[in-house]
Structure 1
Amino acid sequence: MSDQINNINWDFGDGKTYYGNGSLSAIYHNYKTAGTYTIKATLLLNNGSSIVKTVNITVTNTNLLKINKITIISIPQKTNNKRWVSVGTGGMWQTFTGAWDESESYGTNNMNKFADIFVYITKSSSVPDPTNPHSVTTAYPEHLFTTGINPNQLNLVFDVSANNLIMGYDALENIKFTFKDSDALNSLLEDGGADEIIDSYNSYTSQFTNTSNSVTFTQGSLSFKVDFQKL
C-alpha cells in the first residue's frame, strides 16, 4: 500500500502536528512533559481517500538533570576599564586592566561600581529537525534561561531552583553558561549600551553524570559552581 500513499498527517496528541512525507515512515517527536498521548496518523492516498490509524503511548521522564543554583567564585579582569586622568587644566580618558570595575566610566563618581552580573544559559541537544521531523538534528542550540541581574557584584549566587531548568541526559550535548555585565539604562548599570560578555563556558553531559550533586568549572580566571539534581 505504501506506493498508494501521497502524504501522512501526523497528530502527536500534545497540540503538535506535522504534514508528513508519505514515502518516509519514520518520524521523531519530543514531548515536553510526561503523560499518556494518542498519536494519530491520517494517510492520504493518491485516489483521494484516507485511512486513519491511532496508537496510545506513555511518555515517562527518566535520566533528567535539574539545575538548582549557580555560584560565581571568580571572574576574569576587565581589559577596557576607563578612568579620567587630570592633566594640567584638562585631562584624558585612560584605559586600564583591573577588576570588573567601571567606577569612573561614563562620568559616575561611584568608586565601588562593579559588574551587574547575570547569566545567560543555553543548551545543545539532539532533537527532531524543526523543519523535517523525519530526521534528527544533533547539537541543536536552544535558549534555556536568563537569570535576573545581581547589581554591583553584591550577590554572586543565582538560585534557579524554582525555574524548572530540567533537561534529559540522553539527548543533551552541552550546556553553555555565559556571564554578562548588564548595561541597562538609568541604574547602576552604566550607559545603556550593549551588554558585555564577561566570559562563557561550555559544559558537557559527562561533567554532570560523573559527579554527585555539584560540580565546579574552571577556565582561566573564570570559576563557578553548579548545584544540580539527578531526577
Structure 2
Amino acid sequence: MTDTPTQYERPTTDLGSAHRSITPSILYFGTPVGVISTLNESGSTNLAPISSYWGLDDLLVIGLAATGHTVANLRRHPELVLNLCSVSQWESVECLGRLTGAHPVPRQKPSGTQFAADKFGAAGWTPLASTSVIPERVTELPVHLEAAVTGIRDEADQLAVVFARCQAVHVLDELTVAGTSHIDPGKWNPLIYNFRHYFGLGTRLGIAARAEVRAAGRCEVEA
C-alpha cells in the first residue's frame, strides 16, 4: 500500500506586506570572499576567487561554474585550499577575477578576460607549501583551509557543487585567541562580497548564545 502525500494549499491572505517580488540576476546577499587553490595539469597551482561557499563542521560546500578551469582541475586532482581574504586584499581579488587559467580563453568567459599562467604573480602574492594537499597556499592571505574533495554534483545551468572535507587549518597567529584553537572574532575582518560590491564587517551587534569566544582574547567553553 502506497501512502498518499498530504495535499496542502498555499495561503492567499494578503496582510499588506511591504515586500516586492523581484527577479535578481544573482543571489549574492553577502558572503566572505575566498581564493581557491587547485592543481593545474602542469603541476602548478591555479588561483580563482569565489564567494559561493559555506562550511558545516569540517565539510566545505562550494558552488562553481561546471565548465570552469577550477572544476576541471578538481575532477582531475580532488584537492584544494580555500584561502580566505581580509578587507585589505579586495583589489588583488578583483584582479584575479579578470583572469583565467584556461588557454585559450573559453568563449563563455566575460569580455576582457585574459589568460594567466602565473596567478600568484598576477595578484602580487607568493606561494606557500601546504601540509596535507598538493595545491599551494597563498602566503599573504590570513586563513588557509586545506581540503580533500569527496564529491562533485553537477546541476542545471552549468553549475557544480563541490563537497570537500577540511584536513588542515592555518591562521595568522594574531587572529587567534592565545593558547587556543579559537579565532578572535574581534580581530578577524573578512572581505564580504555583497551583490558584486566589496565590504568589510561593521560594528558588532551582539554575541550568539553558543559563541565560545565571549570577549576580546577570552574563551568561555562549556565542559
Class of the TM-score when normalised by the shorter of the 2 chains = under 0.3
Give 1 or 2: higher strand fraction.
Answer: 1
- Asked which structure has the greater CA Rg, the reply is 1
Which structure shows the higher helix fraction? 2
TM-score, structure 1 length as denominator? 0.24
TM-score for both structures, normalised by structure 2: 0.25
